[in-house]
Chains A and B, each alone.
Chain A
Amino acid sequence: MHPVFLTILKRLGLGVLTLLVVSMVIFSAVEMLPGDFTEAVLGQRATVETVAAFRKELGLDQPAILRYLDWLGSVCTGDLGTSFSGRDASGIDRSRPVTELIAPRLTNTLFLATFTAIIAVPLSLILGLLTALYRNTIFDRSTNITTLTAISFPEFFVAYTLILFLASLFQIFPSLSNVDENTLFFERVYMTALPAITLTLVTVAHMLRMTRAAIINLLASSYIEMATLKGTTKLNIILRHALPNAWAPIATVVAFNLAYMVVGVVVVEVVFVYPGIGQLMVDAVTSRDIPVVQGCALIFACTYIFLNLTADIIGIVTNPRLLHPR
Chain B
Amino acid sequence: MLRVLRDLLRYDGRFRFAFILLAAVVVMFLLSFVSPDDPNKTFVVAMDAPPSLDHLFGTNSRGQDIFWWLTFAVRNSLIMGVITAVISRVIAIIVGLTAGYQGGWLDRVLMSVNDSFVIMPLLPILILLGFLLRDMMNLFLLGVILGFFGWPYDARLIRSQVLSLKERSFTRTAVYSGTNGFWITINEHLPFVLPVVFATTINNLLWSIGTEVTLSVLGLSDLTTPSLGTALFWANQHGALVAGVWWWIAAPALVAIILFLGLYLFFASINEYIDPRTRLRLIGA
A and B part of one assembly: no
